[in-house]
Structure formats: C-alpha cells, structure tokens
C-alpha cells in the first residue's frame, strides 16, 4: 500500500543478492585518498544502504527490547578498506567528526584508533540526510560530490520545513526529536539552534522563529 517496505520480498530479490555481492568491493576503497566531500557523500550512502541491508538481513530493531536499537546500529557493519565500520562508527566517528556521543558522553574513536584520522568536520545537515529506517526519518537520497551541496541543502530544507511548526502566541517551536538529540551539533545555545533551523524553513516560519529568537 506504499506505507511500508517489504523487507522479506527484498531479501529474495535478485537485485538484493547482486547488491550483497557488490558490498565486498568496499574492501578495496582507499578512504585516505578521498577528499572531505568525497568521504561525506560516500559515508552518507554507506550508512543509508547499510541500514536497509541490516533491516533485510536481521530485521528492524525492536524498540520494546532493551538494547535492541543500540545493538543494531553497533553491530551492523561493513569492511571498508582495512577497517570495520559499524553504522554508529560511520555516523558518530566519521560524519559527526568524532564528536562526543550525545548519550554515551564519549568519542566513538578513542585515541590511537586509526579510523579517527578519517573523521571529517561536522556538517549538521547530515542529520537531515541519514536514514534510520523509522517513518519519522528523512527520505533516502543518493549523494555524490557533484550533487552533495545541493542535495544536503534540499534535504535540510525538506526535512526541517516539514517537521517544524511555530506558535508565536505560546512562543513554541516544535520540530523533529533529532534536533533535540543532537542539539549540540546545531548550536551551543537555544538561540543559535533556532537561527540554524530558520535557514531551512519557509519564509513565514523563518520570520516568526527569528522574532522568537531575538
């Protein structure tokens, strides 16, 4: 009916089997030879494909089971070059610039981990492009160096505008929980976070948000 994904049917498809075989080629990738934007586009695609791959093979995590979500994102992995990267490694270690994890309070790659050298500067718009498989997540996009800037801008605008409402009477801004979980990635103060979000919403919302942030 268009409201869900047939992961079981996908698992039996010839296209999925071809994809699984192709993932072996990730072992030949030389990440150190890539530019920052190439790593960003590549890892966004790896993460989003990896989530779907994991859902097909083991099924979506069960939020009612303690540790299920953490286990899925921590154990779903690809070997890229000589290193193993879990979905968490890709998101928090590489794309978030090895920033402190918002709930664990530690950096994903400890000192001495060679993967830490591959971390790239944090671009908050990644949170509008990473797909966790939930219905509240952004739609999947395919990124490359040529469309990266435009693609991230479109992803941020589409996601932020669709998820954000403003009520000036109650001085309330409502948006995705993603921006609560990763508020430190967006700005160091509430006003900074509102101004960042305002860049990616419609003009009427933007004006109202900036009035509230003033």
What are 81-113's pLDDT values in tens digits? Answer: 999 999 999 999 999 999 988 888 888 899 999
Tell me the pLDDT tens digit for each residue of 16-45.
Answer: 999 999 999 999 999 999 999 999 999 999
How far the first Cα of the chain sits from its last, in Å, is: 45
Q: Give residue 133's pLDDT band: very low, low, confident or very high (50, 70, 90).
A: low
Residue 59 to residue 28: CA distance in whole angstroms: 28
Place of tokens 């918002």: 102
Residue 75 phi/psi, 5-degree rounding, is: -110, -15
Length of the chain: 214
Residue 144: name the closest of 35, 5, 66 by CA: 35
In the numeric block, the tokens 């960003």 are attached to 40
Q: How far apart (Å, rounded) are the C-alpha atoms in residues 191 and 173?
A: 12
């Amino acid at each position: 009916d268009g409201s869900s994904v047939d992961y079981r049917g996908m698992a039996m498809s010839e296209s999925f089997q071809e994809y699984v075989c192709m993932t072996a080629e990730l072992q030949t990738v030389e990440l150190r030879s890539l530019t920052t934007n190439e790593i960003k586009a590549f890892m966004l695609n790896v993460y989003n494909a990896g989530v779907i791959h994991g859902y097909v093979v083991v099924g979506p995590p069960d939020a009612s089971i303690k540790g299920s979500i953490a286990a899925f994102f921590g154990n779903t992995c690809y070997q890229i070059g000589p290193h193993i990267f879990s979905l968490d490694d890709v998101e928090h270690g590489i794309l978030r610039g090895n920033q402190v994890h918002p709930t664990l309070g530690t950096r994903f790659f400890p000192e001495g981990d060679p993967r830490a050298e591959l971390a790239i500067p944090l671009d908050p718009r990644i949170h509008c492009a990473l797909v966790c498989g939930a219905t509240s997540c952004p739609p999947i996009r395919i990124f490359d160096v040529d469309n990266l800037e435009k693609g991230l801008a479109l992803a941020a605008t589409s996601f932020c505008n669709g998820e954000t409402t403003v009520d000036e009477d109650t001085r309330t801004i409502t948006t995705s929980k993603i921006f609560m979980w990763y508020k430190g990635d967006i700005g160091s103060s509430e006003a900074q976070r509102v101004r960042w979000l305002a860049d990616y919403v419609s003009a009427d919302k933007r004006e109202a948000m900036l009035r509230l942030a003033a």
